[in-house]
Amino acid sequence: MGAAPEPKPGLEPAPGARRTLAWHVLVPSWLILGSATLVFAWGLELPDPVQYAPFALSLVLFGLPHGAVDHLVPGRLSGRGASPASMIGVALLYTVLAALYLGLWVTAPVAAFGLFIALTWFHWGQGDLYSLLALSGAEHLAPPLLRGLTVLVRGGLPMLVPLLAFPEVYLSVARSLVAAFGNPEPVAWVSAPAFRVSAGVAFFALVLVTLVWGYRCSGAGGRGVWRMDALEVALLAGYFAVVPPVFALGMYFCLWHATRHIARLVLLDKASAAALERGDPWKALGAFARDAAPLTGVALALLAGLYLLVPGRVAGPENLLAVYLVLISVLTLPHVVIVGLMDRRQGLWR
């Protein structure tokens, strides 16, 4: 007899838990982002300060807290629960990688900005791939290479489409990030027409190849989930093409990426997963909020310290956002390592 298949904690939720998460995570994100797409396409305009509101809310609402449970992840993946050794290991990982990345911002801010875009592109695609497999049962994504292309597509929608649709705003945010530590002018190429046209054509081809391949892999029984995948791609493309990018990315960060990752985390906690199976998402969310509160407070303290340390002038919402994004970038690097551990343990690429 062959060996039993390796368990995949959290990747194959019970039907009741999957149904609860679909109604309380997936459906609300579709409705909110879809509604925003419609009203902005109709001509809605927001005052500049209001556009920063989602990022301000993300300090405590889903966004920043969604990575504040990483210290518990290795223990929950093992099924033995968090131990002092595993939590200290995660703390050391965060300290070393975040310090190295902050050093890169100080010494080579343009390179640090490029790494931030690349990391976020991969990480947000990584999160959507998990959601498609675990929460939607996307059987059409069986080939590992197709999963890799899906990561590129899903991460590229929030990272690239705003550049194509709003190049001047994209460039302004890029400059404010780099200006906190050095000369912002070297990032001007990101809004150059030739670069945008080339990137747009290449990305459209990538999306087309990925969706067609997924359709061919779906089979008659999997066409419904493939259609959901394709409609999500269309929704996100339209959303980022018409919604002002700072507002759009803040909303996406809080209500799309972070909520899907929180769903992934609560499925690793046995009591929370049982609550989801009973149709009680609020108990699971309360447990997550309790677990995330201490390190969310630490992250907010780090933000205050970074505000005092940056050598560039910090005034106005765009500059404040720049400091916050630098903090997110230095925390994203170790966070991606932890999520990569989750991917490996849960068999995301197998």
Contacts for 74 with CB less than 8 Å, ≥ 6 apart: 82, 86, 89, 90, 338, 341
**Which two structure tokens, joined as six digits, stand for 90?**
């995660």
pLDDT per position as a tens digit, 286-309: 999 999 999 999 999 998 888 887
The one-character DSSP state at 12 is S
H helix or E strand, kind and range, residue 134 = none
Contacts for 277 with CB less than 8 Å, ≥ 6 apart: 14, 16, 17, 20
Domain ranges of the chain: 69-342
Binning pLDDT at 50, 70 and 90, where does residue 24 land? very high
pLDDT per position as a tens digit, 55-79: 999 988 888 899 999 999 988 888 7
8 A C-beta contact, residue 156 and residue 121 = yes
| DSSP conformation letters of 226-264 | HHHHHHHHHHHHHHHHHS-HHHHHHHHIIIIIHHHHHHH
| DSSP conformation letters of 160-172 | HHHHHH-HHHHHH
Question: What CA–CA distance (Å, rounded) separates 19 from 134?
Answer: 11
Give me the percent of the chain exceeding a pLDDT of 70.
95
246-255 CB burial, b ≥16 within 10 A, e <16 = bbbbbbbbbb
